[in-house]
Amino acid sequence: MAEKIFMLNDLRHPALAVPATPVAPGGTLVDALARPLHDLRISVTDRCNFRCVYCMPKEVFGKDYPYLPHAELLSFEEIARVAGLFVAHGVEKIRLTGGEPLLRKHLERLVAMLRAIPTPSGRPLDLTLTTNGSLLARKARSLRDAGLDRVTVSLDALDDSVFRRMNDVDFSVADVLAGIEAAHAAGLGPIKVNMVVKRGSNDDQILPMARHFKGSPVILRFIEYMDVGASNGWNMEEVMPSSEVVRRIGAELPLLPLAANYAGETASRWRYADGSGEIGVISSVTGAFCGDCSRMRLSTEGKLYTCLFATRGHDLRALLRSGADDLAIGGAIAQLWRGRTDRYSETRGIEPAGTKAGAKKVEMSYIGG
């Protein structure tokens, strides 16, 4: 692996600026390309118990990797306060992610705090979580009791040896399936399962995964392997376009296209012609969906990112810890979103991110997927 260890703490993050004129919350914020702010993804830890080859390869994330010390992390109180401000400014969906979010101790306490946030419309907040499933069998019930609506579980293969190679920590498929089962029993549905397809590594698992989840309540989604971060040694030859995934499945299990559930949905939906469920494909590389991107990301240590492929975040934690009031912090968030012009996936290959001296794309395990 040619890349050097990427010291996240070394990134220079501009402080989040407070606008001269306060911005009172009141409905949806729109960015410079007319995209509304609807989703907030919150990374609650930069640590993970897996070493997925496409995300946290062992060569980079070894035992000496400098993870964030606990004091650098946002506390649950800080996260809930920020989330409340986002909701007041129109966010309707919050996803907890990481790293592996279930490694953060007492996460249920945060879930309960987020559940208690009132929304301007009175409609309940959509509260969800993405997990590798390793701790789900143990935690599904308490997460549900705390108020979590749904989970998305990542699973890259049905064949045990392929999966163990992908997660690189010898974790078994059976244990993830047990987590999915527990989530289903606890009522954390509809459950989505995400499979990252890396050509030559697990593309032979597309059909076994489709066959396994066909006819079940689980919605299986295939994600194109992305050039996030600076660690995974990404190259285009290992990307399998979603069109090929749909073709391969459709040749054996006929598929029909479905309309999107809402504008900005990342997955294109397909249903089995025999009525036995649906799948999704997320064409993060071959079919950019920046035009509808309504997501802001909050990193583990309180940096805001307006794009998954950003090279720098905006330091919200400093503002939070400066004693600023809600109007000032909410105004700073509003100003950041209003100035947003990110559309990396649409310009990939034309203006690659991280090409300026010292600028590197942020890691997926730090910012959350």
**Residue 190, preceding bond cis, omega within 30 degrees?**
yes
The reply on whether position 299 binds ligand SAM by CB under 6 A is no
Shortest spacing between CB 274 and ligand SF4, in angstroms: 32
Q: Which residues have CB under 8 Å from 204's CB, separation 6+?
A: 159, 162
Total chain residues near ligand SAM (CB under 6 A)? 21
Among 45, 128, 232, 311, binds ligand SAM (CB under 6 A): 232
Burial class (CB in 10 A: 0-12, 13-18, 19+), 62: exposed
- Binding piece for ligand SAM, criterion CB under 6 A, among 96-104, 183-191, 273-281, 341-349: 96-104
- Applying CB under 6 A, does 344 fall inside the site for ligand SF4? yes
Beta strands in 182-260 (DSSP E): 192-197, 219-224, 255-258
Q: Which stretch binds ligand SAM (CB under 6 A): 170-178, 185-193, 252-260, 360-368?
A: 360-368
Whole-angstrom Cα Rg for the chain = 20
Q: Is 132 near ligand SF4 (CB under 6 A)?
A: yes
**Which amino acid is residue 338, in one-letter code?**
R
> Which of 222, 270, 272, 309 is in the footprint of ligand SF4 by CB under 6 A?
309
Among 307, 319, 320, 362, binds ligand SF4 (CB under 6 A): 307
- Do residues 28 and 326 lie in contact, with contact meaning Cβ atoms separated by under 8 Å? no
Per-residue string for binding with ligand SF4, 24-63, x by CB under 6 A?
A: ------------------------x-xxx--xx-------
Residue 368 binding: pick among ligand SF4, ligand SAM, none (C-beta 5-8 Å cut-off by kind): ligand SAM
In one-letter notation, the amino acid at residue 322 is S
Residue 343 binds ligand SF4, judged by CB under 6 A: yes
By CB under 6 A, the residues from 61 to 120 that bind ligand SF4 are 98-100
Task: Check: CB of residue 369 under 8 Å from CB of residue 100.
Answer: no
Q: Is 157 helix (H, G, I), strand (E, B) or coil?
A: coil
